[in-house]
Every structure is written in structure tokens, then in C-alpha cells.
Amino acid sequence: MVTVAAAEDLRRIITNWRDAGERVGFVPTMGALHEGHLALVRRARELADRVVVSVFVNPTQFGPDEDFELYPRDANRDAVLLADEGADLLFLPEVATIYPDGAVTRVRLAGPPATGLEAAHRPGHFEGVATVVTLLFEIVRPDLAVFGEKDAQQLAVVRRLVRDLHLPLEIVGHPTVREADGLAMSSRDAYLSPPERRAATVLHRALSAARDAIEGGEREAITVRRRMREILESESLAAIDYADVVDAETFEPVTRIRGRVVLPLAAHIGKTRLIDNIHLEVANATSPSS
Ligand code: AMP
């Protein structure tokens, strides 16, 4: 695996691959890699001839009171993990490479799915995500890019962006990788104290209860939201940002549960903000006729 910091070096290597007829898969990350990220790399290896991974803690997607400075960084460890996984190229740019002096251009989605939920709780977040993803796609020019369903609204935003801007690549979603007790793996799990780590399973417990209710026939979103809230509120270390039932494409709240829906949650466990979700497909069954 080669590690490069300059966009021109990356371009030269990738152009050679492309000229040889090889398909390029891309996995953008912010580093502090865990099994969730590595699963995306494995998926990209299955789907493409060459795999490029970026590690870039993107300043524009953090709010002024968020954890940009604190965000865990360990490029050496990340490089070892990626080499073991068979990645071909690690792109490790400086902030000034992605945002050259004087860069003022931003990419902003003007509607759903970039409204509500994360957009409401983290103003400017999706503008930062859309901007960096567009820049990275332009620098790497991959045939496909793999994103985790763990960040479900982000994945919907990226799919919308690629369609709206006619970008010539395929977006592949990958299921959330979890710890044995159900906690969705996240680089931010490293912030949790032992009692907080135990409390953090409440997100998965709330989602499992919601899934059980829907599989048991519940179709009123308001009832499912209430159930998730009850469980989250039963954990004294958790403070809820949102617990919702939304359409899988627009991320707008639904009233009746049918078709493809996402149940997204966000909560603070102590000072650490965690998100999780499940995707469900509910058959549009008509009520049995008498
Ligand atoms: P991040 O480094 O947190 O920005 O995440 C980089 C990519 O890894 C994004 O596409 C995330 O959705 C994905 N990802 C992070 N955690 C997980 C996980 N537990 N399971 C699957 N994908 C994940």
C-alpha cells in the first residue's frame, strides 16, 4: 500500500490504474479506524480492482462547539490496518490540500434528505459533508464509493448529491457493524467511560424494541417513537436528541409505517453524542377483508 498526501501524486497513480482498465473503489473516512471502516474496505475490494481509502478529519463538517480538535487521530495505526486489509492507496491530505487558501466554494443540498434530524441538530454539518465528498470524488474520480448505513442520513445525502450533480460513480451502502452487545461501532466510542459504555447499549435496545413492535404488526409511527423514547429515557446517562421514523429516501417523518423506512436515533451519553438506526422494509399489506 502506498500513502500519499498530495492530490497530484494520487491522480498520477490512479490514472495509471485506470489506463490499465482497472476499476477504482473508494472509502472516505475520518480515521481512528475500527471494524466498521474495515468492512467497507473489504466490500470495496470485492467490487473493484483497486481500493483507495482517505483519512481526513474534515473541519467544515464540525460545528464550532463540536469535537474537531479532540477527534481521535492515529494515522500510523490506520495505515497498518489498511495495509493488512489489502487497500492499495491511503490518501492522507492536509487541510490546505483539500481547502487551498482562499477556497470559498461550498456544496449545499437545498432540501430533503438534508433537512431535519442531523441537519437540525448540527447546522452546517451536511454542507461540510457534501462539500468534502464532492471534492474527494473529484480528486479520486472513483468508479464506486462505499459508505456505511451507520450514518444513514449522510448516505441518503450522498446518494442525492451524486444524482443531482450527475456524478459518474456508483454509491454502495454497507450494513452497520456492531459490537457483541449491539453498540454500533464508532470512532467516538473511544470517548466513553466504562459506565457510559454500558449505558450506550440503550440505543440498540431502543431500536430492537421498535423493530419487535413493527414486526409484531405496529404501524403507527407515533407509537414506535414513544416506545423508543421510553427506553432511551430509562437510561439516566442518556439525553435524547431525536428518535424518529422516517422515509428511507427523503428522511421525512412518516405517520403510517409502510415501504422502506429508517428509524434514526441520536443521544448524548454523558458528553459523547452517538447515533444509530435501523432500516426496515414493511410490506404494504392491505387489511384482511372480511
Ligand atoms: P467516519 O470515519 O466516522 O466518517 O466514517 C467513515 C465511513 O465509515 C462512513 O461511510 C461511515 O458510515 C462508515 N462507518 C462508520 N462506522 C461504521 C459502522 N459501525 N458500520 C459500518 N460503517 C461504518
DSSP classification of residue 143? S
Which residues does a 6 A CB cutoff place in the pocket of ligand 1?
Answer: 29-30, 36-37, 39-40, 147-148, 150-151, 174, 176-177, 184-187
Give the pLDDT confidence score for residue 166 in this predicted structure: 98
Atom of ligand 1 nearest to the CA of 31: 2
Q: d(Cα 202, Cα 43) in Å, to the nearest integer?
A: 29
Give the pLDDT confidence score for residue 290 in this predicted structure: 39
Give the pLDDT confidence score for residue 284 in this predicted structure: 75
Q: What is the DSSP string of 101-123?
A: TT--------STTSSSTHHHHST
> Which residue lies with its CA nearest to atom 10 of ligand 1?
147
Choose one of 40, 42, 186 to mutate for the ligand 1 pocket test, by most ligand atoms within 8 angstroms of C-beta: 40
pLDDT digits (tens, 9 = 90+) for 84-108: 999 999 999 999 999 999 999 999 9
Q: Which residue in the block uniquely carries the three cell numbers 475490494? A: 45
Q: d(Cα 243, Cα 9) in Å, to the nearest integer?
A: 44
Under a CB-based contact definition with an 8 Å cutoff, are residues 260 and 135 in contact? no
Ligand 1 centre to CA of 223 (Å) is 30
Give the pLDDT confidence score for residue 289 in this predicted structure: 44
Give the pLDDT confidence score for residue 173 in this predicted structure: 98
Name, in order, each residue with C-beta under 8 angstroms of 54's C-beta and a sequence gap of 6 or more. 26, 27, 28, 29, 90, 91, 92, 93, 136, 140
Name, in order, each residue with C-beta under 8 angstroms of 237's C-beta and a sequence gap of 6 or more. 195, 196, 199, 269, 270
Ligand 1 centre to CA of 164 (Å) is 23
Residue 280, C-alpha cell as written in the block: 426496515
Does residue 121 carry a catalytic annotation?
no
Give the pLDDT confidence score for residue 196 in this predicted structure: 98
Q: d(Cα 78, Cα 185) in Å, to the nearest integer?
A: 16
DSSP classification of residue 188? G
The one catalytic residue among 34, 37, 121, 279: 37
* Stretches in the chain below the pLDDT threshold 50: 289-290
